[in-house]
Structure 1
Amino acid sequence: MSCDWQELTLADIAESKGGLVDGPFGSNLPASCYVEDGVPVIRGSNLTVGLERFKSEDFVYVSSETLKLIKRSECLPNDIVFTKKGTLGQTGLVPSDSRYERYLLSSNQMRLRVNTNLADPEYVYYYVSSKASVEKIKRDSEFTGVPKINLDYLKKFPIIVPKLTVQKKISKILSGFDYKISVNHQINQTLESMAQAIFKSWFVDFEPVKAKIAAVEAGEDAEGVTRAAMSVISGKADEELDQLQAEQPEHYTQLKTTAELFPAAMQDSEFGEIPEGWRIKKVNEILELAYGKPLKEDVRLPGNIPVYGSNGQIGWHNEKLVDGPGIVVGRKGNPGTVTWVHTHFYPIDTTFYAMPKGPVKSLYYLLYTLKKQKLPLLAADSAVPGLNRNMVYMNKMIVPQRDILDLFDIQLTKIYQKIQVNKEQSEVLAAIRDISLPKLLSGELPVDAAEVVGGDL
C-alpha cells in the first residue's frame, strides 16, 4: 500500500455535524405514521448485501410533518445506509438521480454522510460493501454474541483511504461496471415486459381473435380478417404491413401464418367467453409440481449449476437436479414465487419445479400462466405455512391450440435468449468488478492499469 493511503475510521471521514446517525426509536415511528405517499422510508428491503447500490421500490411513506419531528434521521442523496440488525452487512447508496429529494431512516438502519472534502461517497460505499467489509461486520457481530451492530461500532469501523483524486478514479472505474450491469438489467426488464405483453394479448385479452371478429362483423373478406389479426399481433397499421410485405416478404409470411392460426369466433366457458376450440383444464392435467431436494450450503461443491430457493438463486453447485430451462415455484419461505431458469439447475427443498404433462408442452406458456394464478395469495389462504401443491392442482387454466403455443414458444425463445445473453454478460462484468475491487481498494492494482480495462466497457 502506498504511503499516500491512510488508515482512518468512518467517524474520521463523516460530516462533523450529524455525519453518523441511526434511525428513530420504534416508538417514534409506529406504523400509524405511514401515509399513502410522501417521504419514503428506507428499510432493509431497500438495501442489499453486495453491490446492487439501492432498491428504489417497496417503500412505505411518512408525511413531511413526521420527518420534521425526527429530522435527525433524515437521509439525502449520496448518504450511505447500513443495517444495524436483521441481515447484517446490508448497505445502500442513496441515489443522486432519484425523484425523491429526501428520505427517512427506519428504526433498524444507520446512516453515514461523508465529508466530501475528505472522501468520495461512492468510494466509501464500495469499501464498506466489499466482501471483506461484509465478512468483518458479520464476524464482529458473532464475536459479541449479539446479532446486531450499533452506531459506536460504525464510528470505529476502519477504512483505507487514498487521496481524493485517486478515490474518484477508483469510483469511476467500478461504477463503469455497475452502469453497464444496470443497462443490461433495464434492457432485460424491457424484454420481459415485451414477453408479458405478448402473453396478455394472445391468451388473456384474446386481441387477435377479437380483431378477427370485428373484421368479420365489418364485412371484411378472408384476407381482410387475417390482416386485422396481423395488425394486432405486430402493432402495425395497414400501410406498414404493405411496406413489410414489400421489403421483408419472409417476415410478412410468418406473421400471416401466425394470424391465420387464431380462430375468428368465441365460445362460452366457465371462464366466460374464450376463443373457439380452446379448452379449460385443471392444473394437475397440465403439469406436475415436483419437490426440490435438500442441498445445504456446506455440502455444495464449486460449479456452474445455479442453486435455487424460494426467493431465486441462492448459490452454485457442480451437479444439476433438473435439465433446463425450467420453472421454480416457491414452496416455503416465499411461497408462490414463480422464477424462470434458463440453464440446468438445482432446486432445493423449499421449492417445487414444474414438469409439463398432457397437451401443453410450452414452458413459457406455463410460466406466465402460473404467474397469473396468484400463487402467493393461495399460500396465504392456507392453514399450513407454505404452498400446498394440491391446492394449486385444483385451479383451472385455459389451454390454447398446440400450433399457437408452438408459435408463442418461438417468439419467447428469441426474447429469452437475448435476456440470457445480457445476464451472462452482466455476470462476467460483476466477476471482473469483484476481482478488481479489493485490489483497487488496497492499492494492489494501480488505478492507471484498471482504467485501461474499464475504458473497454
Structure 2
Amino acid sequence: ATLEAIAQALFKSWFVDFDPVRAKLEGRAPEGMDEATAALFPDGFEASELGLVPRGWRVLPVGDAVDAVGGATPDTKNPSYWEPAIHCWTTPKDLSGIAAPVLLDTERKLSDQGLAKIGSGALPVGTLLLSSRAPIGYLALAQVPLAINQGYIAMLPGGLLPPLYMLFWCRQNMENIKGRANGSTFMEISKKAFRPISALVPSPELVQAFAGVAGVLFDKLIENEKQAQTLATLRDTLLPRLISGQLRLPIPV
C-alpha cells in the first residue's frame, strides 16, 4: 500500500497539480528530482479544453493515446473451450479480492479452442485491466498473458501512455469514467463511451521518466505480492495437516 501510495502521489504532483511546472514558473528548482528530469518540464502554461495545462502538452481522446480492447466469454457448456485448461482467462471477479493492483493468476483457464473464440486473443504481460461493469472501477496490471471477458476494458502496452501511467490516470479520472456509464440492468462503461474521454498527454520523455520511477516501485510491489501468495499457499497446505495431527512439529526440550 505504501509503494502504491508513493507512485500515486508522484503522478498527482507531476500530472495533476503540475508542481514542477509551477516551481519553474516561479523561478524555483522543482523538488525531489535531478536536473535532467526537471528539464523535461516546461516553465509555463497554456489554455486547453481541460483548462490551463503545461505548455506543449497535448490533449487527446484517450482512445488515441492507448489501444483499448474488450473480450468475450466462450460457451461455458462446451467443454472443448475449457479443457485442457491452458490459457489464463479473467473476469472482474478475479480482481475483487486482490490487495494490490496486480493480477498474478486467474480462477479459470481456456483451451486453445476457447482462446480462439475471443477476438482480442491473449493480451501481453503489463496490460492494464479496468472492470467496465459489475462494478466499474477495479484496476490491475496483468502479470501473466491472459484473455479477458466482456466485463473489461483492457489497455495494452505500446501506446502513447503506458499501462502503468494509465493505472493512475484511471484512478484520477474514475468519477468521469463512471459518469459516462449507462445501462438498465447494471451500469456499464463501453469502449465507445470510454475512448472519447479527454486525456492530457505529456512529452514521451517525461512519460518515460515517470514510468521508470514508478516502475521500480511496482517491481517491488509485485515481488511482495508473489511472496505473500507463496506464503499463503504454504499456510493453506500445512495448517490443515497441523490441526489434524497429520503433521507434527518437534517440541524443543
Tell me, in whole angstroms, the C-alpha distance in 1 between the residues paired with 2:69 and 2:126.
15
Q: Map residues 341-352 of structure 1 onto 2, 5 A cutoff.
A: 341-352=142-153
> Does the CA-based 8 Å contact 1:308-1:328 persist in structure 2?
no
Partner of 1:400: 202
Candidates 387, 392, 408, aligned match of 2:189: 387
Which amino acid counterpart does residue 226 of structure 2 have in structure 1? Answer: E
Shift in Å, 1:293: 3.0
**Contact 2:127-2:157 at 8 Å conserved across structures:** no
Q: Deviations over 1:113-152 (max 9, x none)?
A: xxxxxxxxxxxxxxxxxxxxxxxxxxxxxxxxxxxxxxxx
| Structure 1 pair 346–257 and aligned structure 2 pair: CA distance change class (3 A) | same
User: In the alignment, is residue 430 of structure 1 matched against residue 232 of structure 2?
Assistant: yes
Shift of 1:289: 2.4
* Residue range with higher mean Cα deviation, 399-408 or 265-274: 265-274
8 Å CA contact 2:123–2:156 kept in 1: the answer is no
- For the Cα contact (< 8 Å) 1:336–1:387, is it kept in 2? no
Q: Are 2:179 and 1:367 equivalent residues in the alignment?
A: no
Instruction: Give the secondary-structure state (helix, strand or coil) at the position aligned to 1:440.
Output: helix
Distance 1:361 1:346 in 2: 21
SS of 2:199's equivalent in the other structure is: strand
Give the greater-gyration-radius structure (CA).
1
The CA deviation at 1:383 is 4.9
| Residue identity matched to 2:14 | W
Q: Distance in 1 between matches of 2:88 and 2:220?
A: 19
- Choose the corresponding residue for 1:309, options 91, 94, 102: 91
Gaps of 5+ in 2: 96-102, 112-120
Structural mapping, 1:143-182, within 5 Å = none
Tell me the CA shift for residue 352 of structure 1. 2.4
Question: So what's the TM-score if we normalise by structure 1?
Answer: 0.45
**What whole-Å deviation, never above 9, does each CA across 1:311-344 have from its counterpart, x for those lacking one?**
4165153778211111111133223332222332
1:444 maps to a residue whose letter is Q
- Rate the CA distance shift 1:420–1:273 in 2: closer, same or farther, 3 A: same
| Post-superposition CA distance 1:73-109 (Å, at most 9, x none) | xxxxxxxxxxxxxxxxxxxxxxxxxxxxxxxxxxxxx
Q: Please tell me the residue identity of whatever aligns with 1:310.
A: P
- Cα distance, 1:301–1:434 mapped onto 2, change above 3 Å: farther
Query: 1:268: Cα distance to partner?
Result: 1.1
Superposition deviation, residue 366 in structure 1: 1.7
* 1:95 corresponds to: none
Q: How many Å apart are 1:350 and its aligned residue? A: 2.1
Question: C-alpha distance in 2, partners of 1:425/1:301?
Answer: 28
Q: 1:291 aligns with which of 70, 75, 82?
A: 70
Deviation beyond 4 Å, 4+ runs, structure 1: 295-298, 300-303, 381-384
- Within a 5 Å distance, the mapping from 1:92-107 to structure 2 comes to none
- For residue 274 of structure 1, what is the amino acid of its counterpart? V
Deviation at 1:300, TM superposition (A): 6.1
Aligned residue for 1:394, secondary structure, equals coil
| Structure ranking higher in helix proportion | 1
Task: Name the aligned partner's letter for residue 39 of structure 2.
Answer: E
One-letter amino acid matched to 1:191:
L
* Letter aligned with residue 193 of structure 1: A
Deviation at 1:285? 1.2
Task: Give the Cα–Cα distance (whole angstroms) in 1 for the partners of residues 183 and 194 of structure 2.
Answer: 11
Question: Following superposition of structure 1 onto structure 2, how do residues 5-404 of structure 1 map, counting pairs within 5 Å?
Answer: 189-215=1-27, 225=28, 228-229=29-30, 231=31, 233-234=32-33, 255-294=34-73, 296=76, 299=82, 307-311=89-93, 312=95, 314-317=106-109, 321-355=122-156, 360-374=160-174, 375-379=177-181, 381-383=182-184, 385=186, 386-404=188-206
Seq. identity, %: 24
Contact 1:279 1:400 in 2 (8 A): yes
Cα distance in 1 for residues equivalent to 2:127 and 2:10 = 20
Rounded to whole Å, the distance in 1 between the matches of 2:137 and 2:170 is 9
Would you say the 8 A contact 1:382–1:388 is kept in 2? no
Name the SS for the 2:140 alignment partner: strand
Letter in 2 for 1:200: K
- Per the TM alignment, residue 274 of structure 1 is displaced from its structure 2 partner at its CA by 0.6
CA distance in 2 between partners of 1:345 and 1:325 (Å):
10
For these two proteins, the number of residue pairs brought into alignment is 226
Q: Which runs of 5+ in 1 are unaligned?
A: 1-188, 216-224, 235-254, 452-457
Q: AA paired with 2:71? A: G
Shift of 1:302: 5.5
- Which of the residues 179, 202, 214 maps onto 1:412? 214
CA distance, structure 2, for counterparts of residue 266 and residue 332 of structure 1: 37
Range that drifts further, 284-293 or 392-401:
284-293
CA distance in 2, matches of 1:366, 1:420: 17
The CA distance in 2 between the partners of 1:202 and 1:210, in whole Å, is 10
Residue 191 of structure 2 aligns with an amino acid whose one-letter code is R
Please tell me the root mean square deviation across aligned C-alpha atoms, in Å: 2.6
